[in-house]
Chains A and B, each alone.
Chain A
Amino acid sequence: MTQPAIEIRNLDKRYGKVHALRSVSVTVPAGPVGLLGPNGAGKTTMLKLLLGMLAPSGGEAKIAGLNPTSRKERLAIRQKVGYMPESDCLIPGMSAVELVALLGRLSGMPAPDAMTRAHEVLDYVGTGEERYRKNEEYSTGMKQRIKLAQALVHDPPILLLDEPTNGLDPKGRKFLLDLVADLGRKQGKHVLLCTHLLPDVERTCDHVIVMNQGSVIEQGSIANLTETTANVVHVAIQATSEESRTQFIARVREHGHKVQGVAGNTLHLLFDQDEVPMDGFFELARSTGVVLTHIVPQRSTLEDAFLKALEQDNNGTMPVTTGEAIV
């Protein structure tokens, strides 16, 4: 089994009275993982703790098998991790290629390699000739690309990306998510994508960790979280008349099945038993002159899982005592 990229045990962080992380324990598997949560959930705090940029109030974390609270290991971590901060941190007065090359050199690359590599990663993120412009002249989309490039310049095995799609238009967002997906799935990077946007995680990650108010409230593979809701089925019908449609619905109800919703010719049926009685169902359709065109068991979306987890969390599974966590 592949070694987990990040292991966190009982990690706690307080900013004075504000409890930003509450005894978080999580194992981040290899591959692309989404760190999902609303603003103030403690996502950025967790990333900074992993990089050793924040000192924990309690607990421990290991990233690439190294402890970020140890000064020596912290420096080693920073060579193995690429960090894309959320804030607009590009140094003005420098061009993108100069900045990325400088940060490559600071990561331990020789000057010629750093410059070559800067061009390579800037090509990869699609900056083109704009890489020679000053950092202060870039659009938000371009800045996000450059921030990703600087995180990649020393080719780290682990990438911590903090809200990489913030402020991007749909095209730019798609481009950046494609890059993140490529890095996580094809280039073998351990990507921890920190975001509050569900579609970003759904699109790029295999696993997700859901955070709220400093706690991990859900984690697992996206496939598991969005597993089939066994007894709900979407049924699309083709009825010859309105009468036959109404009759079909009435007969379904007569047979003890619950019709959750009707939208045109699409019905949402709820069955009491686990197995959907398909044979009887076809018989019902035939007798009422309705053709079944589509029968699909409903899958819950990641959004459902996220909202459900949040709802459970806010219903008192975790006490809320000190207000909003700050990041």
Chain B
Amino acid sequence: MKATTHTELYRAYEDPLHPRPPVERIMAWSGIRQGFRKKLPALSFFGPSVIVALVGCVWVHLSFSLKGMLKDGDGSDAVAATIQQVLGNVSSTIYQFMQTEQFFAFLTVAWYGSRLIADDRRLSANLLYFARPITPIRYILGKLGTVGAFGVFTLLAPALLICVQAAFSSPDWVFLTDNFGVVIAVVGYCLLWIFVMSSVILAISSCFKRRSLSLVCCFIVLFLSHGITQVLSEATDKGYYGLLSLMSNLQSISKWLFHESSLITNMANRRTGMGSRFDVDITHSFLALGVMTLIAWIILYRNVKRMEVIS
């Protein structure tokens, strides 16, 4: 027999509502949960990042182990030296792996981020959100939290994992004492990358109602702009075209950060300067990136504001 008691009753909610609920956190967490709900995309996007991170961990472990073998001076010196040369130093290894991780991180962030606002627009889910005490900025922060978390999972966390492996594999914590700047550079660069990329992808997502269009536009903005600026730079032999490319600017900044981090741990080299190593002045790269992010936020805010209140 069907119980009908509670289907016929309406109970009032007596407790007061929080006047300013933490909507950013609630929305971000909800988005993350939804993202992980579909197993195949989750496996496809996070799997490669995990594999790269594991390979990186093995790589840095081998580097330190071979260094140890060389110091011990046993018979296999020559072989170890050769392998050591192939493996390179740990800082550059971390840098290389982080560069690889960036690709997977971009795929992940673009896949999940491109639908976040586009889907809300397509489904008119903004009517549900903005019927609640949510401001456009807090809505954006909620979405940024979701897409940023995917960036953290695929870029920052694997890079930090390699750093942790390096710290544990290095004798007498020499990685931390001599190369702590690398860790700072990793964290700083990853956070910058995640913030910039998430902002750009959300801005693109807010311009479309279809996820597929939004996703295509993400690839165009990142790869096509990079390709075109590279061709222009090559053709005109002028490096500043690279300032128009998001990817080029991020690359310049990452090179600069990792170079700077090695200077942090090596005070003697600090005085030698580093401007000549780069085609483009790093200040310009930061400026260009800042302008791109600002434009992304203006687009994002404008579109989300229109989702809340149509003038």
Contacts and interface: CB of A to CB of B under 8 A. Distances in A.
A89 B123 contact: yes
B123 A92 contact: yes
Interface stretch (A23-31, A71-79, A240-248, A292-300): A71-79
A18 interface: no
A54 B19 contact: no
A106 B7 contact: no
A108 B124 contact: no
B26 interface: yes
Given A106-B21, A113-B15, A83 B26 contact: no
A54 B305 CA distance: 11
A75 B134 CA distance: 7
B124 A87 contact: yes
B260 interface: no
Interface stretch (A117-125, A231-239, A277-285, A310-318): A117-125
Given A55-B311, A91-B128, A94-B34, A106 B23 contact: yes
A155 interface: yes
Interface string B7-48: 111111101011111010011001000100110000000000
A108 B17 contact: yes
Contacts of A154: 13, 17
A252 interface: no
A183 B10 contact: yes
Nearest to B21: A108
A52 B309 contact: yes
A107 B310 contact: no
- What is the size category of the interface that chain B forms with chain A? 35 or more
B10 A103 contact: no
Given A87-B127, A106-B23, A107-B17, A93 B38 contact: yes
Contact of A51 (B7, B26, B131): B131
A62 to B, nearest CB: 17
Nearest to B307: A53
Given A87-B124, A102-B26, A108-B133, A53 B13 contact: no
Nearest to B129: A106
A79 B131 contact: no
A78 B19 contact: no
Interface in A119-153: 120, 123-124, 126, 150-152
A75 B34 contact: no
B6 A109 contact: no
Interface string B132-157: 11110000000000000000000000
A108 B21 CA distance: 5
B278 interface: no
Interface centre among A54, A55, A89, A183, by most B CB within 10 Å? A89
Nearest to A83: B131
Interface in B100-133: 119-120, 123-125, 127-133
A113 B18 CA distance: 12
Interface of A: 48, 51-55, 71, 75-76, 78-79, 81-83, 85, 87-94, 102-103, 105-110, 113, 117, 120, 123-124, 126, 150-152, 154-155, 182-183, 186-187
12 contacts: A54-B309, A76-B133, A78-B130, A87-B123, A88-B123, A102-B30, A106-B134, A108-B21, A120-B11, A123-B6, A154-B13, A155-B13
Top 3 nearest A-B pairs by Cβ distance? A108-B17, A155-B13, A108-B18
